[in-house]
Structure 1
Amino acid sequence: MRKVVTIAVAVAAVAAATVSGVSQARTVTAADTATPKQGIKWGECDKDVGDGLPLPEGMQCGTLKVPLDYQRPEGRMIDVAVSRLPSKNPEKRRGILLTNPGGPSPGLGYLAFLVTAKLPQAVLDSYDLVGFDPRGMGRSTPVKCDLTEEQQFFGNIPPYARNAADVAKRAEQSQQIAEQCAASDTAWMLPYVSAKNTARDMDSIRTALGEEKASFLGASWGTYLGSVYATMFPKRTDRVVLDSNLGPAGWDYESQRLWSQGMDDRFPDFAKYVAANHREYGLGRTAAQVKAKYLQLAARLDRTPVKGPDVVWDGALLRLITFGYTYGATQLATLAEVFKALEANQPPPPLPAGETAKATAAGVDNLISARYYMICNDSHWPTSLQSYQRNVAIDRIRHPLFGAAGANISPCAYWPKPVEEPVKVGDNGPSNVLMVQNLRDPATPLAGANELRKALGDRARMVTADQGGHGVYLLNKNQCANTAATSFLLTGRLPERDYHCSADATPR
């Protein structure tokens, strides 16, 4: 089971949203700020911080004490783990660039990824890069729900529901998880793990580093965190780049339902690849035939799963792996091999290890638990079982590829009411936000990005790229989109208007 758990968790770092943003003016209050009682004592980072990637020369790690509850800044404190890669060019340095990889996931080692992915030297010269593990995660004061391996199996993505009975079964499992989270040894943190408090932690990091303003680079769920920070602290926000965008409400129920649209947008790219390589895979000569094969195969596995040495491949697992393995172009061949093996009624070869391959059981529990803490506190989730059953039935028909997973119920339906209202991302503040977005992103679809663009108003510009997959900046080779992000980080000048980068990387 352990191998499958790591696979499932590896594809669970996704989010998307499609709800309308509400513009509102906001002033920073005393409850939003806290002067750190101490600075950050920097030292060497643990060797495994980079998750297998080499740590950049000069990278440092430390810990900052922050209030558990910013309403009571003199009360209980928790740790936030912070990393830094200082600029080696003092003459060109302009400030700090806070970063977040999305997920929500630990971000202490994200600096190693950015350097490995060839973040331009000019950006490295201009900023001290700063990473951190959001509160509750990783090397920050961690939370847990004491999840069993079975509870960890699908990570934070609900399984595909074939019928109302499947939704009811998932509801029982979800309620149990929510009760475990509320009864765990770390339940004292449960009300305070949120994007709102994480943004306050970011501002505490800025203060501890002695900076008047902070720039930000965030991807996926990190786009919501960056939007929250820019909304709460507009005068302290310098330049903000948001890559692969959630809607203005972050990872909420509507965003989960939007995964169905993301799969509808992205799957044709995979189907075209498989059809073009029919001799290799034998799954269809046209994209339409490949799509039909996927639906037939998933239905067959629902009836008769294929047993492998480590896992039973049923339709729900195939749909989950298909969703996760359409993130990047390099994963499409692996996904096609999965289809080919299962079509032959054989278990697929072992999949490449994911983000948690080396994680301990406690580490996997922390990752999944902390995501529940965060996303369930960040929005109001429906509580009616019948509404989930109704939406699953609708989305199974409208979006047969993945709709009955995105619309399924999660532990957030049984979560305690948040102690604070979530931040309403709006347009109050300077024009200093650049959004970059793929047209065909399965996890954070264009529809959600468009809603965030509306909510930010004249604060933002959006550059779209005619490509598929999850992630734009540094991950794909669209020179037009990459240049837009780099140029904004270096100059601070937003484009006069939104624009589109074609597949051959030319703007239009």
Structure 2
Amino acid sequence: MASSGVSGGPRPRAIIRSVVVAVCGVAMTAVGAVSTAQAGPSPDRAAPEAAGIAWTSCEPPFADDDQLQCGKLSVPLDWDRPNGERIDLAVIRHLASRPQERIGSAFLNPGGPGQSGVTVVGEGGADFDQWSGGRFDVVGWDPRGTGASSPVTCFRSDAERDQFWAGVSIPMTTAESQAYQRKAVELARRCGEVHGDLLNHISTADTARDLDALRQAVGDRELTYIGLSYGSMLGQTYANLFPDRVRAMMLDGIVDPVAYTASAESRTVNGVAFTDEVFDQFLALCQSAGPDRCALAGHGETVEQRVARIFATARQAPIPAPHADPPGELSYGDLLTTTYAPLRQPDTWPQFAQDLNAAADGDASALETTARQVQTPVIYGEIPKSVAISCLDGPASQPSTAWPQVIDTFTDSSRLWGPVLGWWLWAPCASNWPASSNDRYTGPWNASTETPILLINNRYDPATGYGNAQAAEQRLGNAVLLTVNGWGHPSYQLPSTCTDQARQRYLVDLVTPPKGTVCEPDRLPFP
């Protein structure tokens, strides 16, 4: 397959705009046949028959779209006690645009863990409708513990949360690190105090069982599923628990489940291991683009030298940011944070280069504004949900007091994201996280489905590296990897006609591209 022309395919802006906290695994090979004697619940445990969903018109902000319908599904809080306490899952669907040719429902998880499927389908359902050729109702839901499905919060009010996080950034000094470690312990304590028993029942395996209940509730005999980023972790869990219930499974931006569930340390190492390579790609492509297309080029030094000088300057002392709102300065920790969104979104690389160039000239206002824009939604909204799920799936093996050695290990894996994700995601897990689960699923990961699972991954993905996808293709009993020779996380960040055609052919006709297929993006990051 080859790409040509300008892509007319969908680019799901709802996800591209979002800042997703992706926690990823390390590439490893798997051995052995599928076994039910591993950690985690028996996949065929008796469960109550799922009731249907009473679909109604959606409330704002999606009330004006007559292609959208909303509803709720009641599921057991504890799948070991199907007749016990229950929680409601918020659900939305974008109706198939070709209803006379409707095949069924396609379920979507946009990642995180903790991203709202309701929001993503509400904002981008028409894009995903194109992915599936208009032949499916695209169904999104807020997984348990997130969004409108009994969301995890660690504070009793927004004011309490704002006061807790005021002035916090990625620590660099010993004193700052000790203060952040104490804050991580306090965060874990507050999460347990506020949410109690819920925290024990929001593992990925719990959500996989919810997904199977959702499948039954819409009347589909088999599951059609699209999993993006962490959604690929959920998909691999479902496929290994219920391999005979999969019609089609398309996973994009592959999480390695072995390291994801092994420990918070291995999960973090894998989640940052590919970042610096992508940053090097950013520098090299900027250099090739030249000063007409990349602001960092053409200053009497290489782009790599110019950017290295920015990092060295910020490491010594903060760079002034006089035009930030309010005015301030860019610390080294904030500089690391500014790389978090752009490396995932290569269409922002020209602007990122412009902002870095201004910092090289002594004004880091744009970068400081970016750092604040990233930290606010991540710290306030994403960390509690992401941590609550991932800490349950793969607990920390070392205490947060071991931060000097552990953060150094993360930094060795990535000087850019190692400290960022280490403090954001590992530290709370390592701080006496107040939950555990006997139902978490830790393998095996080699299930064979009747239809091949389609894996898609960018060659240069900073969050779920290409090695993860290669390992998954080898590990799963029946899977095909489509390589996209592009940048960003997941693969749709740059349009690719070739990839769009492969998606639709798979979801509609269950036809995978030949093994070894490589798709090209339709344009470069510096157009």
Class of the TM-score when normalised by the shorter of the 2 chains? 0.7 to 0.9
Alignment: residue pair count: 479
TM-fit CA distance, 1:217: 0.5
- When normalised by structure 1's length, the TM-score is 0.84
TM-fit CA distance, 1:404: 3.3
Q: Distance in 2 between matches of 1:364 and 1:289?
A: 32
Structure 1 position 469 matched with structure 2 position 488: yes
Structure 1 position 92 matched with structure 2 position 87: no
- 3-state secondary structure, aligned to 2:61: helix
TM-fit CA distance, 1:356: 10
Share of identical aligned residues, percent?
A: 23
Q: In structure 2, give the amino acid aligned to 1:418.
A: S
Within 5 Å, give how 1:280-319 maps onto structure 2: 281-282=295-296, 285-301=301-317, 306=321, 308-310=324-326, 312-319=329-336
| Correspondence for 1:139 | 148
CA deviations over 1:226-265 (Å, ceiling 9, x no partner): 1111111111111000011111144743232234432222
| Correspondence for 2:268 | 256
TM-fit CA distance, 1:161: 5.2
The alpha-carbon distance between structure 1 residues 11 and 125, as it changes in their structure 2 partners (threshold 3 A), is closer
Q: Which of 27, 31, 44 matches 2:57?
A: 44
Q: Which of 13, 29, 34 matches 2:21?
A: 13
Point out the more displaced range, 345-354 or 401-410.
Answer: 345-354
TM-fit CA distance, 1:449: 2.6
Within 5 Å, give how 1:238-257 maps onto structure 2: 238-249=247-258, 250=260, 252-257=264-269
- 3-state secondary structure, aligned to 2:489: coil
Structure 1 position 402 matched with structure 2 position 436: no
Within 5 Å, give how 1:342-491 maps onto structure 2: 342-349=359-366, 350-351=369-370, 365=380, 367-385=382-400, 388-397=403-412, 399-408=414-423, 409-413=426-430, 414-416=432-434, 418-423=436-441, 424-430=443-449, 431-456=451-476, 458-473=477-492, 475-491=493-509
Q: Distance in 2 between matches of 1:353 and 1:395?
A: 23
- 3-state secondary structure, aligned to 1:74: coil
Q: Distance in 1 between matches of 2:375 and 2:182?
A: 26
Q: Is the 8 A contact 1:111 1:130 kept in 2?
A: yes
Q: What is the aligned-residue RMSD (CA, Å)?
A: 3.2
Q: Distance in 2 between matches of 1:98 and 1:140?
A: 16
| Correspondence for 2:121 | 111
TM-fit CA distance, 1:190: 0.9
TM-fit CA distance, 1:73: 0.7
- 3-state secondary structure, aligned to 1:410: helix
Q: In structure 1, give the amino acid aligned to 2:396.
A: W
Where in structure 2 are there 5+ consecutive unaligned residues? 1-16, 37-41
Q: In structure 2, give the amino acid aligned to 1:412.
A: C
Q: Distance in 1 between matches of 2:154 and 2:408?
A: 30
- 3-state secondary structure, aligned to 1:96: strand
Q: Distance in 2 between matches of 1:75 and 1:428?
A: 31
Q: Is the 8 A contact 2:143 2:207 kept in 1?
A: yes
The alpha-carbon distance between structure 1 residues 398 and 247, as it changes in their structure 2 partners (threshold 3 A), is closer
TM-fit CA distance, 1:299: 1.2
TM-fit CA distance, 1:87: 2.3
| Correspondence for 2:45 | 30
The alpha-carbon distance between structure 1 residues 298 and 222, as it changes in their structure 2 partners (threshold 3 A), is farther
The alpha-carbon distance between structure 1 residues 391 and 292, as it changes in their structure 2 partners (threshold 3 A), is same
Segments of 4+ in structure 1 off by > 6 A? 352-357
Structure 1 position 126 matched with structure 2 position 135: yes
Q: Is the 8 A contact 1:305 1:315 kept in 2?
A: no
Q: Is the 8 A contact 1:258 1:406 kept in 2?
A: no
Q: Is the 8 A contact 2:347 2:494 kept in 1?
A: no
- 3-state secondary structure, aligned to 2:118: coil
Q: In structure 1, give the amino acid aligned to 2:446.
A: D
Q: Is the 8 A contact 2:239 2:246 kept in 1?
A: yes
The alpha-carbon distance between structure 1 residues 369 and 271, as it changes in their structure 2 partners (threshold 3 A), is same
